[in-house]
Amino acid sequence: MADFRIAWATFARDLRLELRTRESLNAMLFYALLVVVIFSFAFESEAELTARVGGGLLWVAFLFAGLVALDRAFVRELPGDTLTGLLLSPAPRAALMAGKFASSFILMLAIETVLLPLFAVLFNVSPAVHWSGIVLTVVLGTWALAVTGTYFSAMSIHTRHRALLLPLLLLPVVIPAVISMVQATQVFLGRSGVADYWWKLLFGFDVVFTTLGLLLADIVLDVD
């Protein structure tokens, strides 16, 4: 119960800080809009083309936006050296990490909620596509990115080139998840059946990396 309280307090505090400063949200929205709008200029808005490449385009935008949120997950603790305050406390590191996972996830999901309808309009996505399937894929895929990205954000916080290091660490690890997200989204945009296989892969990735992230939180959030 105490662990849940710590995770919830960390989650609520991070969201409060973000709503107050808008440091991640503004940058995320800007990057994501930029990618979607520029691609909409490059590709003609044909439903057939969207069915072929839309999944990839959508996840490029989500991934770019997500990297901003993930980078901020622990950078947020640098003003006032609050990271030291967290590490000084007896709070279980897994509870702190769980709160961070959740806040990164919600921030990414918030931007994706704005972006998905815009993508549908700009890329002429048919209203008849399996939207609930796309939404579930977005939720599972975003959790995969949030969990792995937040963990690597903690790992890179004390490095000099952390903004560069985070994508370098993150992207190779999330390749299986990215393939699953893109393929599952593609299946639903193309109305070409079900994506059970990709969902299972994505769900498995989520379970494994959430468990690993919590188990290894003590290592990455350790004192010097």
- Binding site residues, other proteins, CB under 8 A: 2, 5-6, 8-10, 13, 16-17, 20-21, 79-82, 84-92, 223-224
Rounded CA separation 153/170 (Å):
9
Angle formed at CA 37 by CA 36 and CA 38, multiple of 5 degrees: 95
Nearer to other proteins, 92 or 190 (CB): 92
Rounded CA separation 138/55 (Å):
10
Rounded CA separation 91/95 (Å):
7
Q: How far is the CB of 160 from other proteins (least distance, A)?
A: 16
Dig out the tokens for 32 from the structure: 């994501």
- Of 75, 134, 142, 141, give the one whose Cα is nearest residue 104: 142
Q: How far is the CB of 83 from other proteins (least distance, A)?
A: 9
Nearer to other proteins, 5 or 191 (CB): 5
Q: How far is the CB of 215 from other proteins (least distance, A)?
A: 17
Q: How far is the CB of 16 from other proteins (least distance, A)?
A: 7
Rounded CA separation 78/110 (Å):
24
User: Who's near 97: CB < 8 A, 6+ residues apart?
Assistant: 150, 151, 154, 213, 214, 217, 220, 221
Nearer to other proteins, 48 or 81 (CB): 81
Number of residues that make up the chain: 224
Does residue 103 contact residue 153 with C-beta atoms inside 8 Å? no
Cα torsion angle, 101, 103, 105, 107, sign? negative
Rounded CA separation 134/148 (Å):
21
Q: How far is the CB of 99 from other proteins (least distance, A)?
A: 10
Nearer to other proteins, 90 or 172 (CB): 90
Q: How far is the CB of 162 from other proteins (least distance, A)?
A: 19
Nearer to other proteins, 8 or 43 (CB): 8
Nearer to other proteins, 79 or 117 (CB): 79
Q: How far is the CB of 76 from other proteins (least distance, A)?
A: 8
Nearer to other proteins, 85 or 204 (CB): 85
